[in-house]
Amino acid sequence: METGPSNPAASVVVLAGGVGGAKLAHGFAQLDLGSRLTIIVNTADDFELYGLTICPDLDTVLYTLAGIANPVTGWGILGDTANTLAMIGRYGWPTWFWLGDRDLATHILRTERLRQGARLTEIAAELAAALGVTARILPMSDQPVRTIVETPDGPLPFQDYFVRRRQRDTVLAVHFAGIEQARPTPEVERALADASVIVLAPSNPIVSIGPILALPGLRDRLVDHPAPIVAVSPIIAGRALKGPADRMLASLGHEVSPVGVARLYQDFLDGLVIDSADADSAPAIEQLGIRPLVTDAVMHDEADRARLARETLAFADQLRKGRH
Amino acid sequence: METGPSNPAASVVVLAGGVGGAKLAHGFAQLDLGSRLTIIVNTADDFELYGLTICPDLDTVLYTLAGIANPVTGWGILGDTANTLAMIGRYGWPTWFWLGDRDLATHILRTERLRQGARLTEIAAELAAALGVTARILPMSDQPVRTIVETPDGPLPFQDYFVRRRQRDTVLAVHFAGIEQARPTPEVERALADASVIVLAPSNPIVSIGPILALPGLRDRLVDHPAPIVAVSPIIAGRALKGPADRMLASLGHEVSPVGVARLYQDFLDGLVIDSADADSAPAIEQLGIRPLVTDAVMHDEADRARLARETLAFADQLRKGRH
């Protein structure tokens, strides 16, 4: 059992996207926080395929916290097969989005529960409970939000850009369809209200953390929040560890560095965890009024995840004390 | 290539339920009839599971004609896995209906096409074409019909009786919910109008052939039809080769013999194919005004299926000539 945060009643809220967010969330889950750990997960890359509602980020967080994630890809279920998908292909339907057979159970049951009128939040709780996950996995909203990526070839639904076209298009702009009508859920509001630490996971700032921050009222809540808010930089040595965040930041006019990340969160961020490779960014981050923590920010294994989570919590504690 | 019927323009229409019907349909499919072979399939044991529309009889006929059926069970796909179902069980949902992973592709795509507004008939044609099936597989109706089995424990949806409770309940009555509102499809009407031979497969007379005959107007069409109508008895030596047809006939007050089957079809049937084991039933069948054909009516292998189909067609030809 790992050592928890110094305040035993601390409620840790992590804002997360997919693989990077799931890894850090798993680090916190190793700190014996139980239900005092809440992961608020991006749902703007959710989509419908074959009539099934697929929530890639929710599923990645769920599988990772349940200990059944595929450790090679970071997404999907360890040892999963794809026999349904092969048959779907035999029927002549497109198969560019890889769906494992075990993974399909999640999409089928979620879709059925949505059809029955359940909220995405309730469904996420049911799935997590069945897999023995004690942390609370909260979709950012129960209303559908869908990321649209503007490219030289026109607008693309997120998964078309991300999976089907393998992120080859230059991203000219990003918007979140449905975001004006969407609301943070009551559970998200409550988790934020109770949070003693808020952590932005090392997920894509534009399309993973971006939609959460774009929910009506949510960013203002962070700006006004009394608890320390700490981000872990998803950019290390000028590159995203995974995914197109680096190219996306560049094409949207942002600096591809922890400083660029800090600027995106500047209005509410108290501290930014950066990798030793980016130690020379520390002064520029400090100039933005944000405290940097230089450490090893790459999560190679499960122990790394717990270490980074623990360091992030200790850092937040320092920031809290520094204020008082 | 097998020898076709004596009339090269013959259009063979087979009324079929599940496994037994699929086997005989496969026998006809081996006779090089191409699209002049139409299988009209029972849809009254269709049901919804996890939000998916499952059509067991249509699928059994499809997989059998496509050459991918599991030869041991007669249903499902050869070599299929059930990893999705295992995960559904892990999520705590009921798993009493076995669903293979490849099989699930059929249910997922059918459900999606229904949602898009396609007719069950169109969907069956799409699936069959994708699997290279040239025979026309027609659902009996595009409107939902659902068999309800009355038992001492109350009414049971068909799959609850058939799969979940393993046919252990005494069947007191059977009815087909939705049958009054259902209609034979235009494709079924057309196939019947064009039929030069009509064959009732050795399927359960009550719950497989019964719903087809119960469609408004359909039985009258058979009574008035100019083509020979031949059935293959699903009862051999007092037993159903598969399924609960024997017990069901008995509890509903019918004789569990080819004679009992003949009586159920007496108003339109011209000939009944019976097994050598039931040769002594021949006179009683003849007394009902129905010509018997005594042969080996058990389909042990694919060659048996083709032989039985060929003999059935030759028998129908004799009946046609005998009339003129």
Q: Which of A206, A283, A276, A268 is nearest to A236 (CA)?
A: A276
Beta bridge partners of residue B147, listed in sequence order: B176
* C-alpha span between A206 and A251 (Å, rounded): 11
| DSSP codes joined into one string, A123-157 | HHHHHHHHTT--SEEEESBSS--EEEEEETTEEEE
Q: What is the mean pLDDT of residues B194-217?
A: 97
pLDDT at residue A9, rounded to an integer? 56
Strands B154-157, B197-200: parallel, antiparallel or unpaired by DSSP? unpaired
Q: Which residues of B touch A102 (CB under 8 A)?
A: 83-84, 86-87
CB A25 within 8 A of CB A16: yes
pLDDT at residue A186, rounded to an integer? 98
Rounded to the nearest integer, the mean pLDDT of chain B is 94
Of the candidates A51, A106, A127, the beta carbon closest to that of B115 is on A51
B110 to chain A, minimum CA–CA distance in Å? 9
Domain ranges, ordered by start, for chain B: 12-144+178-323, 146-177
pLDDT at B5 over 70: no
pLDDT at residue B155, rounded to an integer? 97
Residue B109 to residue A50, Cβ atoms within 8 A: yes
Residue A324 CA to chain centroid, in angstroms? 30
* C-alpha span between B232 and B227 (Å, rounded): 16
Cβ-based neighbour number of residue A180 at 10 Å = 12
Q: Tell me, what's the ipTM? A: 0.94
**Residue of chain A with shortest Cα separation from B109:** A50
Q: Which residues of A touch B111 (CB under 8 A)?
A: 51
- What band does B9 get if pLDDT is binned at 50, 70 and 90? low
At B275-314, the pLDDT tens digits run 999 999 999 999 999 999 999 999 999 999 999 999 999 9
CB A319 within 8 A of CB A270: yes
Q: What is the mean pLDDT of residues B210-234?
A: 97
Residue A80 to residue B83, Cβ atoms within 8 A: yes
CB B297 within 8 A of CB B254: no
Q: CA angle at residue A73 from A71 to A75, to 5 degrees?
A: 85
Q: Which residues of A touch B104 (CB under 8 A)?
A: 84, 87, 101, 104
* C-alpha span between A217 and A179 (Å, rounded): 11
A206 to chain B, minimum CA–CA distance in Å? 32
**Residue of chain B with shortest Cα separation from A124:** B91
**Element at A295 (helix H, strand E):** strand A291-295
**Element at B235 (helix H, strand E):** strand B235-236
**Residue of chain B with shortest Cα separation from A94:** B109
Residue A93 to residue B109, Cβ atoms within 8 A: yes
pLDDT at residue B322, rounded to an integer? 76
pLDDT at residue A1, rounded to an integer? 38
Of the candidates A50, A92, A101, the beta carbon closest to that of B83 is on A101
CB B204 within 8 A of CB B195: no
Of the candidates A112, A127, A130, the beta carbon closest to that of B51 is on A112
B68 to chain A, minimum CA–CA distance in Å? 12
- What band does B228 get if pLDDT is binned at 50, 70 and 90? very high
A168 by DSSP, 3-state: which? coil
B132 to chain A, minimum CA–CA distance in Å? 10
pLDDT at residue A6, rounded to an integer? 45
**Residue of chain A with shortest Cα separation from B112:** A51
User: What phi, psi does A315 have (nearest 5°)?
Assistant: -60, -45
* C-alpha span between A72 and A78 (Å, rounded): 9
| DSSP codes joined into one string, B191-228 | HHHH-SEEEE-SS-TTTTHHHHHHSTTHHHHHHT-SS-
B314 to chain A, minimum CA–CA distance in Å? 36
User: Distance between the two ends of chain A, CA-based, in angstroms?
Assistant: 30
Q: Which of A266, A185, A282 is nearest to A223 (CA)?
A: A266
At B89-119, the pLDDT tens digits run 999 999 999 999 999 999 999 999 999 999 9
Which amino acid would we find at residue B288? Answer: L
**Residue of chain B with shortest Cα separation from A128:** B91
* C-alpha span between B77 and B55 (Å, rounded): 14
Q: Taking the alpha carbons of A228, A232, A235, A237 in that order, is the dihedral positive or negative?
A: positive
The CATH-assigned architecture of domain B12-144+178-323 is: 3-Layer(aba) Sandwich (3.40)
Q: Which residues of A touch B131 (CB under 8 A)?
A: 90-91
Report in angstroms the alpha-carbon separations of B230 from B131, B248, B303. 29, 22, 20
B64 to chain A, minimum CA–CA distance in Å? 16
Residue B51 to residue A130, Cβ atoms within 8 A: no
Residue A106 to residue B127, Cβ atoms within 8 A: no
pLDDT at residue B294, rounded to an integer? 98
- What band does B50 get if pLDDT is binned at 50, 70 and 90? very high
Per-residue DSSP letter, A106: H
Per-residue DSSP letter, A33: -
Residue B83 to residue A93, Cβ atoms within 8 A: no
pLDDT at residue B292, rounded to an integer? 98
**Residue of chain A with shortest Cα separation from B89:** A105
Residue B140 CA to chain centroid, in angstroms? 10
Per-residue DSSP letter, A4: -
Beta bridge partners of residue A149, listed in sequence order: A156, A174
| DSSP codes joined into one string, B132-145 | T--SEEEESBSS--
Report in angstroms the alpha-carbon separations of A48 from A12, A52, A76, A163, B103. 31, 5, 17, 14, 20
**Residue of chain A with shortest Cα separation from B104:** A84
B39 to chain A, minimum CA–CA distance in Å? 20
pLDDT at residue B323, rounded to an integer? 67
Q: Which residues of B touch A90 (CB under 8 A)?
A: 105, 130-131
The answer as to CATH 3.40.50.720 being correct for domain A12-44+136-144+178-323 is no
B162 to chain A, minimum CA–CA distance in Å? 23
Residue B106 to residue A87, Cβ atoms within 8 A: yes
Q: Which of B290, B140, B144 is nearest to B218 (CA)?
A: B140
Interface of B with A (CB under 8 A): 50-52, 77, 80-81, 83-88, 90-93, 100-106, 108-109, 111-112, 115, 126-127, 130-131
Per-residue pLDDT of chain A (324 residues; tens, 9 = 90+): 334 444 445 799 999 998 999 999 999 999 989 889 999 999 999 999 999 999 999 999 999 999 999 988 989 999 999 999 999 999 999 999 999 999 999 999 999 999 999 999 999 999 999 999 999 999 999 999 999 999 999 999 999 999 999 999 999 999 999 999 999 999 999 999 999 999 999 999 999 999 999 999 999 999 999 999 999 999 999 999 888 999 999 999 999 999 999 999 999 999 999 999 999 999 999 999 999 999 999 999 999 999 999 999 999 999 998 765
At B246-273, the pLDDT tens digits run 999 999 999 999 999 999 999 999 999 9
A96 to chain B, minimum CA–CA distance in Å? 15
Residue B63 CA to chain centroid, in angstroms? 13
Buried/exposed code over B210-228 (b: 16+ C-beta within 10 A; e: otherwise): bbbbbbeebeebbeebebb
Residue A105 to residue B92, Cβ atoms within 8 A: no
Q: Which residues of B touch A93 (CB under 8 A)?
A: 109
Interface of A with B (CB under 8 A): 50-52, 77, 80-81, 83-88, 90-93, 100-106, 108-109, 111-112, 115, 126-127, 130-131
Residue B82 CA to chain centroid, in angstroms? 25
Residue A84 to residue B84, Cβ atoms within 8 A: yes
Q: Which residues of A touch B91 (CB under 8 A)?
A: 105-106, 109, 126-127, 130-131
CB A83 within 8 A of CB B83: yes
